[in-house]
Structure formats: structure tokens, C-alpha cells
């Protein structure tokens, strides 16, 4: 019986994700299903870079690929390089908020995946090198979109992401 509890503990920890977030086990999120195979009707990629007071925050591998559910959300990552994969069985509009919901992490005015703005600081968002002042949760994820989120200073214009490597 102890080995069964240990196995359950390992499974729970392996599904915890970044910063201990609760990762879903295959139930739909924001209407996004978790399928046994990646979809092939819509296949596009984006890049997300998060900076916490100038230090990089890893966008982890396997967002949207729960071990317990053994499936792929239409919106997911494979590697910890910030490249987002949308591989859906139908055409659908996806947003940055959808990614954070699948990831199980906050995306608010003061907290981005656990990186928190201090008093009198702000979060600055860049989309394809241009300052974005609206709600970042509503950013539509289109092919090769490049999003940088800076939590706290320094607030510097990001270098464009170009390492698509065939994605």
C-alpha cells in the first residue's frame, strides 16, 4: 500500500508544473480539448519570453501535456525555449490567456506565472517588438507572434525572436 501512495505522490509532483501550479489532467480548458494525438488542421507557432526584473523566467516544456491524462491540449509546449505549439483538429482562435489557463499560471496586472510586480512597478508587454498596453490575456496567438512580458524594471525593448528552426 505504501508503494501505491508513493506512486500517487510522484504522479502528483510530476504534474505540478512551474511554481507548483495545478496542471489539468485532460479536462477541457477554455473549450480547448486534450486529445490523444496532436491536431493537424491548424498548426502554428508563437514565442513567449517572460522576464522577472531582468531575469528570464522559463516557459517550461510539456505545458498542455499532462502525464496523468496522457494527451495533448491543442495549445502546448514541447521544449523549455518559449515556443508555443498550436496543433488543433479545427480552426479556432487562441489567446495568450488560453495558454496561461492551460499552464495553470496567473496572467494578471501584477503576477505573470509567479513573477510579481513590486509596489510602484508595472508589467510591460511587447508584441512583435511593439509596446502593447491592452489586456495581455486577449493577445491572439497568430503564426510566429513574438510576445515578451517584463515584470518590473528594466523595461527595455526586446530583441526580436528569430530561432524558429522550421517551426
Question: pLDDT, tens digit, for every residue of 22-40?
Answer: 555 789 999 999 999 888 8
pLDDT for 15 beyond 50: no
pLDDT at 10: 35
Strand-pairing partners, residue 123, are 151
Sign of CA dihedral 68, 100, 128, 123: negative
- pTM of the complete model: 0.85
Name every residue whose Cβ is closer than 8 Å to that of residue 148 and which is 6 or more positions away in sequence. 48, 49, 50, 51, 125, 126, 158
* pLDDT-above-70 percentage for the chain: 86
CB 144 within 8 A of CB 82: no
Amino acid at each position: 500500500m505504501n508503494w501505491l501512495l508513493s506512486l500517487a505522490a510522484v504522479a502528483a509532483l510530476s504534474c505540478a508544473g512551474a511554481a507548483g501550479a495545478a496542471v489539468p489532467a485532460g479536462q477541457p480548458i477554455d473549450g480547448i480539448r486534450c486529445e490523444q494525438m496532436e491536431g493537424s488542421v491548424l498548426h502554428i507557432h508563437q514565442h513567449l519570453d517572460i522576464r522577472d526584473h531582468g531575469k528570464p523566467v522559463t516557459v517550461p516544456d510539456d505545458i498542455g501535456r499532462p502525464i496523468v491524462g496522457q494527451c495533448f491540449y491543442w495549445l502546448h509546449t514541447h521544449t523549455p525555449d518559449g515556443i508555443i505549439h498550436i496543433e488543433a483538429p479545427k480552426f479556432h482562435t487562441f489567446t495568450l490567456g488560453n495558454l496561461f489557463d492551460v499552464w495553470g499560471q496567473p496572467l494578471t496586472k501584477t503576477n505573470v506565472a509567479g513573477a510579481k510586480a513590486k509596489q510602484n512597478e508595472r508589467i510591460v508587454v511587447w508584441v512583435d517588438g511593439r509596446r502593447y498596453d491592452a489586456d495581455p490575456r486577449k493577445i491572439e496567438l497568430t503564426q510566429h507572434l513574438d510576445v515578451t512580458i517584463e515584470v518590473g524594471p528594466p523595461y527595455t525593448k526586446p530583441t526580436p525572436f528569430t530561432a524558429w528552426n522550421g517551426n
